[in-house]
Amino acid sequence: MRLLRPLVVALGGLALVAATTTAATAANGTFAWVGPKGKAYAIQNPPDHKCYDMGQEARGAQNATRQPLIVYTQKKCKGSATRLAPGQSAPSGSHFASVIFNQR
């Protein structure tokens, strides 16, 4: 029984590490958009389930992540919503003010 105890503790620790690493997920990939003066912007591996307000003009959202996202016409993820599946892009002229990745 004493020999099994360290093995059980080690396996329990691995299970705990696996549970905590999957809890903080991210939308693997890149989210890109066009900002003021046509400048391109991108975020790599954005975190899931959090609404982000755009600090300036944003249009032409491109979802190159592995998760769906939703862009909103107003800040705080309010207003008209446009869902973009992985690999999908919004029309180049469509403006948005906030975005959420992999909404619950």
Q: Is the pLDDT of residue 95 over 50?
A: yes
Q: What does the domain layout of the chain look like in residue ranges?
A: 25-101
What pLDDT digit, counting tens, does each position of 32-44 carry? 999 999 999 999 9
72 contacts: CB under 8 Å, gap ≥ 6: 78, 79, 80, 81, 82, 96, 97, 98, 99, 100
CATH class for the domain made up of 25-101: mainly beta
Q: Each residue of 1-26: pLDDT tens digit?
A: 555 444 444 444 434 333 334 445 67
Identify the residue with better confidence: 9 or 59.
Answer: 59
Query: Residue 18: its pLDDT value, please?
Result: 39
Are the C-beta atoms of 31 and 65 separated by less than 8 Å?
yes
CB 1 within 8 A of CB 11: no
